[in-house]
A = this chain, B = another copy of it.
Amino acid sequence: MTSPKSQLFEKFADLARVLGHAHRLELLEHASQGERSVERLAQLAGLSVANASQHLRHLHSGGFVQSRRDGNRVLYRLGDGPILELLSALRCYAERSRAEVREIVADHFAQLDRLEPVSREELLGRLQDSSVILLDVRPKDEFALGHLPGALNMPLNELERRLSELPKDQEIIAYCRGPYCILSFEAVATLRANGYKIRRLEDGFPEWKAAGLPVEAAA
């Protein structure tokens, strides 16, 4: 009865089902920034620790995260394989074919078009002539776990009070956790309002790292 094809469909369905919960997608996004304890992930996703632990075990069973023990805590990180590609295909389908999704994006990330995001390829070129300032607007601890080479870390909540550290005559490129992370959108809005030349990277740190591009960790 269970033909090999049905068995494969079962396996594929199991994996899809693991991705079929908003909390797990959010935990996955946070884990893909770098290694994180269960408690921290729970906090970031607004879940109880036990609940986060359960969802993380689900993700683990599908190979989407890996874990290791460090002292009395367990650290989760993104798993192996083309996970970000799979998530990107999901986003891509949703954005192109589902009107509700396009609506949410249009309502809340309305500047999308006007911001003219920068692709990874373009950024790579620009970094070599060092004609840009690269700005990482994620929280300090995520920055410490890894960031783009030469990036300046200025978490969103510190941005306004540290404006003077940024030059107005050079282009700034901001990035954060990924394509739908609002941090870099808000950074762009704030800085543009203050007369800076700023654009955002079209995706975030995990995608950069997964593309095999160079990454720096905290000193």
Q: Which listed segment binds B: A69-77, A104-112, A134-142, A149-157? A: A104-112
Residues of B within 8 A of A10 (CB): 22
Residues of B within 8 A of A13 (CB): 19-22, 24-25
Residue contact A11 to B98, C-beta cutoff 8 Å? yes
Residue contact B81 to A96, C-beta cutoff 8 Å? yes
- What is the total number of copies of this protein in its complex? 2
Q: Name the interface size band of chain A.
A: 35 or more
Question: Which residue of B has the minimal Cβ distance to A97?
Answer: B81
Q: Which listed segment binds B: A83-91, A163-171, A196-204? A: A83-91
Residues of B within 8 A of A90 (CB): 12, 15-16, 86, 89
B3, B12, B79, B91: the one within 8 Å of A94 (CB)? B12
Residue contact A20 to B26, C-beta cutoff 8 Å? no
| A97/B85 contact (C-beta < 8 A), A8-B180, A19-B13 known | no
Residues of B within 8 A of A180 (CB): 5, 8
Most buried by B among A86, A93, A100: A93
Closest CB in chain B relative to A39 CB, distance in Å? 20
Question: Which residue of B has the minimal Cβ distance to A22?
Answer: B9
Residue contact A79 to B98, C-beta cutoff 8 Å? no
